[in-house]
Structure 1
Amino acid sequence: MSQLELRKIRKTYPGAAEETLKGIDIDIASGEFLILVGPSGCGKSTLMNTIAGLESISEGEIVLDGKDVSGVEPKDRDIAMVFQSYALYPTMSVRENIAFGLKIRGMP
């Protein structure tokens, strides 16, 4: 597993009156899980998309195992996430969907 550090992450969409992400600082140690909970529109999906590289950040650093991956292509980040719709694989339960990525890597 990897260590993830978010350092002063800011995201402003073009033409937006306000920032969507306002100086987010989070450290996630190897083996830890993070769950983002909040109301619709608070920036959960935007933050996850920036970590995965699907959205660019306006400022800050996304550091994975000590390396700044802020400008690295999504395919080269080796990061996965579960989207709001839990039915990534509709034949699996929520638990099975979340565990799937770990299982294929041989993780307990």
Structure 2
Amino acid sequence: MVQEIDKLTDNVNDIKSLFRTLNETLESIEKRLSRLEKMDSIEHRVEVNQIDLSDIKESLQRIEETHSNEIQHINRRLDSHLVKIAKIEEEMIIIKSR
């Protein structure tokens, strides 16, 4: 009977030891997962920022193209007005010299 009680006690101690080991292993896994989650979070933020920067860049390019076209149109109109003014000045000089 004493041997059986000793054997049971040993078994209980073995089970406690296994639980401690299991607990330590779980804690280690939790720490690793925590680090992975942080990595995922950082990678996610980097990806989101890359997407945001790409969108901003594309928007700026579109704005630049639009304004470039508008500026070219304005420049053409100014050129045509300058040509008209030059022709009128030339006509005025010709009229004055008569």
The reply to whether TM is greater than 0.5 is no
Using the size of structure 2 for normalisation, the TM-score is 0.18
Q: Which has the higher contact order (CA 8 A, sep 6+)?
A: 1
Tell me which protein shows more strand as a share of its residues: 1
Tell me which protein shows more helix as a share of its residues: 2
The structure that has the greater radius of gyration is: 2
Using the size of structure 1 for normalisation, the TM-score is 0.16
